[in-house]
């Protein structure tokens, strides 16, 4: 048995992975979950590289279903195989689902109270900020080449400004991106 280097991060365990995903699921909200996952698994624990994380995020967003659930499955599988995937998705879904039932009942009873409206507005602002920070991290990693930058700008323009159908923008942009990478790989540029 070889000893791990003194600065090496501790290896993930199934129970530890469940606790991490449960904590993230119970303390996060809105679209900012990918930002929490980035901080937890890339920046704080060094279990996944930033490039691998962003590749997993892209795959998770391209697959059907809820992005954070897809990401939990991807991270869990990456770290501990199929058991890790099962534990991660259970941690990110089950505890928060139980909590949301309780919170939904309380909010339903207090929805017309002014303080409840303020809390909901604050939660929406925080979720927007987390999503924006993840967008900035992702944009920083885009290769500084013409087509990737053009696709990033065109996607923002098409969805954010022109309000075009998300499905068609993703299908078109995805097809162009895949074709571009395929041609670049075939030419030996990658």
pLDDT band (50, 70, 90) for residue 14? very high
pLDDT band (50, 70, 90) for residue 120? confident
What pLDDT does residue 16 have? Answer: 95
Distance CA 182, CA 190 (A): 10
Report in angstroms the alpha-carbon separations of 2 from 5, 37, 182.
9, 30, 41
Please check the confidence at residue 190 and state whether its pLDDT lies above 70.
no
Q: Are residues 131 and 172 in the same domain?
A: no
Domain assignment present for residue 75? The answer is: yes
Which of 141, 157, 182 is at the close of a domain? Answer: 141
pLDDT band (50, 70, 90) for residue 89? very high
What pLDDT does residue 114 have? Answer: 86
Please check the confidence at residue 167 and state whether its pLDDT lies above 80.
yes
User: What mean pLDDT is predicted for residues 101-122?
Assistant: 86
127-162 confidence digits (pLDDT tens): 888 888 888 887 787 777 888 888 888 988 998 899
Q: Are residues 41 and 119 in the same domain?
A: yes
What pLDDT does residue 45 have? Answer: 93
Distance CA 186, CA 190 (A): 8
Q: Are residues 152 and 136 in the same domain?
A: no
Q: Are residues 106 and 29 in the same domain?
A: yes
Q: Are residues 79 and 133 in the same domain?
A: yes
Q: Are residues 80 and 173 in the same domain?
A: no
Domain assignment present for residue 166? The answer is: yes
Total number of domains constituting the chain = 2
User: What mean pLDDT is predicted for residues 32-53?
Assistant: 90
Q: Are residues 50 and 132 in the same domain?
A: yes
What pLDDT does residue 5 have? Answer: 58
Which of 120, 141, 162 is at the close of a domain? Answer: 141
What pLDDT does residue 166 have? Answer: 86
Q: Are residues 56 and 133 in the same domain?
A: yes
Angle (CA) 72-102-16 rounded to 5° is 30
Token pair for residue 129? 């900020």
Its domain, for residue 95, covers: 14-141
What pLDDT does residue 186 have? Answer: 86
Angle (CA) 37-40-42 rounded to 5° is 90
Report in angstroms the alpha-carbon separations of 80 from 10, 22, 59, 65, 100.
13, 17, 18, 22, 28
Closest alpha carbon to 32 in 120, 122, 138, 127? 127
| Contact indicator for 52, 61 with CB cutoff of 8 Å | no
User: What mean pLDDT is predicted for residues 72-93?
Assistant: 96
Please check the confidence at residue 112 and state whether its pLDDT lies above 80.
yes
């Amino acid at each position: 048995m070889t000893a791990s280097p003194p600065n090496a991060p501790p290896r993930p365990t199934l129970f530890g992975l469940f606790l991490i995903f449960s904590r993230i699921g119970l303390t996060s909200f809105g679209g900012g979950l990918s930002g929490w996952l980035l901080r937890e698994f890339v920046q704080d624990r060094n279990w996944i590289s930033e490039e691998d994380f962003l590749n997993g995020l892209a795959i998770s967003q391209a697959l059907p279903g809820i992005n954070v659930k897809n990401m939990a499955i991807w991270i869990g599988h990456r770290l501990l195989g199929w058991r890790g995937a099962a534990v991660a998705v259970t941690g990110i879904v089950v505890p928060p689902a139980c909590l949301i039932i309780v919170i939904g009942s309380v909010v339903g009873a207090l929805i017309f109270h002014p303080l409840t409206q303020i809390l909901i507005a604050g939660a929406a602002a925080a979720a927007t900020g987390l999503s924006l920070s993840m967008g900035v991290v992702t944009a920083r990693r885009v290769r500084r080449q013409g087509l990737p930058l053009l696709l990033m700008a065109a996607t923002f323009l098409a969805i954010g400004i022109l309000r075009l159908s998300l499905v068609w923008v993703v299908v078109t942009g995805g097809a162009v991106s895949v074709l571009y990478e395929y041609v670049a790989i075939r030419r030996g540029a990658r």
